């Protein structure tokens, strides 16, 4: 189980690959949390947090007393995944507690470090949520949240990028963010660069794109340096059918639009039947796509196609 590994791994507080920092000395409970910007402090905080978490008992809390973390780490996720988790919790109960801290400004309330989906499932089931309650500094909270995300391994590149960018925007030092996300400075630089360079509305419209990795997001970031490409991307995400596509398909559509050269006509594609008969010609002009059927040789097919187009379109709409 990933979360068991989280606790097991973090007590060792391994450094990110490529990180030249040395392992922190053992810290005593109760020592003040060092200021962000210190690599030793950040890593040491993880070790200390987990040691403290282990020593705390699990409580059942009303979900309505728990507020979101000040850093969002997920784009809109799949309802299907959430339903599965809710069903599992209904059948088997909540196996793994979430981590919360007492709310820094509101007495009697809590703020979640990780376990948002389990919290949402508890809300849907109308049950209290099992939680470890632990006073955490902001740094400790984001490091715990980041480490949990790393162990879960189901955050996409862009979700990690946004998480990293939000941490930096809130003033966390790069060392703290590197510790939280288990990346070296190169990886962190690429994460933040992608999240910052791509307009947030375009990222939100695309969604998490779980199969799309660093290089292609970087390609999109480079392409969107051009205002024309941004305009083109926004035109694509405004199409009514766009939200119905899978997230990775949405990414591909935006990347295609952002990297298409204006005014450049694609080479025409000839569509042939199995016996090699030329059926139609497809030409992509960027803004429009033309389908040309030769009426001299394919008059019957041309008529058939025009008559059936509404039906084909209706089937397409039902598919997506």
What is the contact surface with DNA in residues (CB under 7 A)?
16-18, 157, 173-174, 183-190, 192-193, 211-216
Shortest approach of DNA to residue 193 CB, angstroms? 4
Shortest approach of DNA to residue 134 CB, angstroms? 28
Neighbours of 199 (CB within 10 A): 13
Measured from the CB atom, is 98 or 182 closer to DNA? 182
Shortest approach of DNA to residue 2 CB, angstroms? 15
Neighbours of 113 (CB within 10 A): 27
Measured from the CB atom, is 221 or 293 closer to DNA? 221
How big is the chain, counted in residues?
320
Residue in this structure with the two tokens 């190169």, named with its chain if needed:
186
Q: What CA–CA distances, in Å, run from 197 to 146, 207, 218, 276?
A: 22, 16, 9, 47
Shortest approach of DNA to residue 256 CB, angstroms? 11
Measured from the CB atom, is 114 or 251 closer to DNA? 251
Measured from the CB atom, is 168 or 232 closer to DNA? 168
Shortest approach of DNA to residue 123 CB, angstroms? 30
3-state DSSP of 256-286: HHHHCCCCCCCCCEEEECCCCCEEEEEEECC
Please enumerate in sequence order all residues whose Cβ is within 8 A of that of 61, keeping only pairs 6 or more positions apart, or say none: 100, 110, 128, 129, 130, 131, 133
Measured from the CB atom, is 23 or 306 closer to DNA? 23
Shortest approach of DNA to residue 217 CB, angstroms? 8
- CA distance linking residue 248 with residue 38, whole number of Å: 37
Shortest approach of DNA to residue 151 CB, angstroms? 13
The two structure tokens encoding residue 215: 């290089």
Cβ proximity of 62 and 154 under 8 Å: no
Measured from the CB atom, is 62 or 171 closer to DNA? 171
Measured from the CB atom, is 138 or 159 closer to DNA? 159
Q: For residue 282, list its beta bridge partners.
A: 269, 291
């Amino acid at each position: 189980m990933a979360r068991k590994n989280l606790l097991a791994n973090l007590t060792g507080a391994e450094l990110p690959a490529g990180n030249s920092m040395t392992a922190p000395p053992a810290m005593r409970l109760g020592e003040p949390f060092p200021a962000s910007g210190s690599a030793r402090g950040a890593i040491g905080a993880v070790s200390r947090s987990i040691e403290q978490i282990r020593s705390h008992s699990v409580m059942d809390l009303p979900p309505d007393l728990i507020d979101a973390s000040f850093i969002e780490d997920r784009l809109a996720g799949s309802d299907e995944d959430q339903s599965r988790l809710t069903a599992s919790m209904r059948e088997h109960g909540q196996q793994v507690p979430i981590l919360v801290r007492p709310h820094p400004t509101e007495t009697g309330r809590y703020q979640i470090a990780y376990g948002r989906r389990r919290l949402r499932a508890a809300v849907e089931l109308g049950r209290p949520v099992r939680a470890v309650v632990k006073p955490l500094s902001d740094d400790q909270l984001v490091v715990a949240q980041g480490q949990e995300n790393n162990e879960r391994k189901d955050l996409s590149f862009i979700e990690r990028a946004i998480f990293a960018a939000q941490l930096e925007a809130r003033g966390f030092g790069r060392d703290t963010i590197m510790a939280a996300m288990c990346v070296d400075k190169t990886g962190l630089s690429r994460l933040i660069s992608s999240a910052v360079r791509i307009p947030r509305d375009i990222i939100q419209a695309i969604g998490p794109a779980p199969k799309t990795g660093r290089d292609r997001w970087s390609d999109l970031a480079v392409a969107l340096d051009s205002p024309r490409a941004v305009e083109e991307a926004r035109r694509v995400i405004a199409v009514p059918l766009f939200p119905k596509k899978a997230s990775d398909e949405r990414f591909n559509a935006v990347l295609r639009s952002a990297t298409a050269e204006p005014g450049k006509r694609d080479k025409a594609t000839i569509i042939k039947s199995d016996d090699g008969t030329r059926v139609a010609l497809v030409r992509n002009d960027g803004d429009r796509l033309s389908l040309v059927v030769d009426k001299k040789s394919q008059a019957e097919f041309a008529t058939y196609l025009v008559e059936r187009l509404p039906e084909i379109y209706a089937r397409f709409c039902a598919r997506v």
